[in-house]
Structure 1
């Protein structure tokens, strides 16, 4: 087989590659849908971004380790570091990864994106990152890959073997120089799981955690990170972040203003879709207040993200008033809707 493409779908969550990569695999299989809607309820964010000057983030939270590290029940996962791959000659890397794909393994390769022309970091400072490979064409000497391109859009594209090798070679040098730690290369094979019906207990636990601003996930192995806020408390730190942006606070580290609002929108969209799924499956009754309430929050969250994108193109400082208003509204309205959802799930 000179060309192989493993099945992928456009992932439902694209805010961070850990979700985009793994969900692009599992979303291609209908049996994973109940698991998907049982999860992705909790949010977390960084609390101490002004004190330590490190980048603020907001993201879905499914405990530790993160989704690249053996955290998806439908993916058989292997990981290797550059120490193990060190004796693999650079000109044999395309063959090695093509062989893994031919064997049914999706590959998530740790490399330097600054050497990949589609990347935002191309020909700039080194940018250690993971690249998702799901196919190859040996005759054209290209990999089928997914990544965030120079516009910040997640898409499928082709990476020539030569560019792939340049990015790997650069990553080898960066590791030797101590520029970054080795974040490993991963191999995923889709394996049908034993039946996974929608799990009310899992969903309810996450809903209660969200409302209480806490987490109980994986506490048998990990204490909650004191630098993280959870659930409803995320709104306070999100507002703190945009206050710092508005005032040009010098303590603010690397910024990614739109991504935070994009993740917030993805969360509301996911909650609204989950409610629709539960109604369609007959697990909760149709409730106009709940359904319309979350659809309305989702619409306003998407509009806010889009307004911020326009603000970054043509400055409009009124955006910060809009951000403050929307975050206050969501913080007030969401608990009422979630309590309603909890009551239906507990009924």
Structure 2
């Protein structure tokens, strides 16, 4: 066949590509849903972003390594670096990746996104990044890909083979000149898992970790240190971040103000959807305070994120006291709801 598209869906989480890419594969299969709702409970962020001049981030936490590195039980994973692929000429890369897709592998290719016309970085400074390929059309000489486009919207689009080759060639040059590190290219094949029912104990453990501001996930391979905050404690550092934004603190680097609020909204929305799933599946009884409380947190967080987007278009200094007030309320309300959820899960 000259054209193939492997099955994908609009991913439920998009804040970082490691979630969007992998979940767009697994969420197409109903048997992965109990696993999905057993996870994505914990949050973490970095604490030393002002002292060390590092970019601030907040994200879901599922232990280390991250999701691209063999951390999804439904994905058979292979990774390679540019050293292994160095014998492959740039013009041979389209055929090589088309063959992997033909064999049922989704491809996440590390390349220079500034050579791709849909990207925000197009024709600007080099931007090493991962691109998700799920299909190709050999006659049209394009890959079917998913990425954040120049407007910041995650969507499916077509990447011409020539742009793909240019992006690979540029990445090779960046690596040759030691201007970046190789973050590897990944190949994923969906592999049906043995039955994975909703894991009450895994969910309870993550909920307790969240409330205690700590983590016990994958401690056999990873020792958390004082650079990261977990669970309920992330609000303290979110507040520190937006205080620095309000005062134009020169120590802030690579700002991405809206993304942090989007991550928080995805977390609240995900918790609300999880509670609805647990009630629908009969895993917990219906509890109006819990269902409506989680739904309300999700709505409030979405409104806060959208207000900040408007602030970035037309300055609204009142958004900063609103952020402080909302974070304080979340610190009060969320523990009450999550303690109730733990009790219902314990039966």
TM-score normalized by structure 1? 0.99
Q: Which residue of 2 aligns with 1:133?
A: 133
User: Which residue is 1:309 aligned to?
Assistant: 309
**Counterpart of 1:188?**
188
Please state whether the residue corresponding to 1:187 is helix, strand or coil: strand
Q: In 1, distance between residues paired with 2:11 and 2:226?
A: 31
Instruction: Determine the C-alpha separation between the residues in 2 that align with 1:209 and 1:82.
Output: 38
Q: Name the counterpart of 1:293.
A: 293
Name the SS of the counterpart of 1:235 in structure 2.
helix
Report 1:38-77 matches (<5 A).
Answer: 38-77=38-77
Q: Which residue of 2 aligns with 1:100?
A: 100
The aligned counterpart of 2:85 is 85
Partner residue of 2:229?
229
CA distance in 2, matches of 1:210, 1:309: 28
Query: What does residue 216 of structure 2 align with?
Result: 216
CA deviation map 1:255-297 (0-9, x unaligned): 0000000000000000000000000000111000000001000
Bigger shift: residues 187-196 or 325-334: 325-334
Aligned to 1:331: 331
* 1:58-97 superposed Cα distances (whole Å, 9 cap, x missing partner): 0000000000000000000000000000000111100000
Separation (CA, whole Å) in 2 of partners of 1:237 and 1:54: 13
Shift of 1:222: 1.1
1:319 aligns with 2:319: yes
User: Which SS does the other structure have where 1:69 is aligned?
Assistant: coil
Q: Distance in 2 between matches of 1:262 and 1:280?
A: 27
In the alignment, which residue of structure 1 is the partner of 2:283? 283
**What is the DSSP-based 3-state SS (H/G/I as helix, E as strand, rest coil) of the residue aligned with 1:85?**
coil
The structural deviation recorded for 1:225 is 3.2
Distance 1:105 1:252 in 2: 40
Please state whether the residue corresponding to 2:68 is helix, strand or coil: coil
Q: Distance in 2 between matches of 1:322 and 1:106?
A: 43
| Structure 1 CA distance for aligned equivalents of residues 124 and 292 of structure 2 | 46
Structure 2 runs not aligned, ≥5 long = none
Q: Which secondary structure does the structure 1 equivalent of 2:317 belong to?
A: coil
The CA deviation at 1:226 is 2.1
1:274 paired with 2:279, answer no
Q: Distance in 2 between matches of 1:177 and 1:312?
A: 37
Superposition misfits of 4+ residues, deviation over 6 angstroms: none
Q: What secondary structure sits across from 2:132 in the alignment?
A: strand
The question of 1:259 aligning with 2:286 is answered no
Superposed CA RMSD in Å reads: 0.5
> How far did residue 167 of structure 1 move?
0.4
Q: How many residues align?
A: 347
SS in 2 for 1:188: strand
Which whole-Å deviations, capped at 9, do the CAs of 1:97-126 have from their partners, x for residues lacking one? 000000000000000001111111111111
Q: TM-score, normalised by structure 2?
A: 0.99
- Can you give the 5+ residue segments of structure 1 that lack an aligned partner in the other structure? none
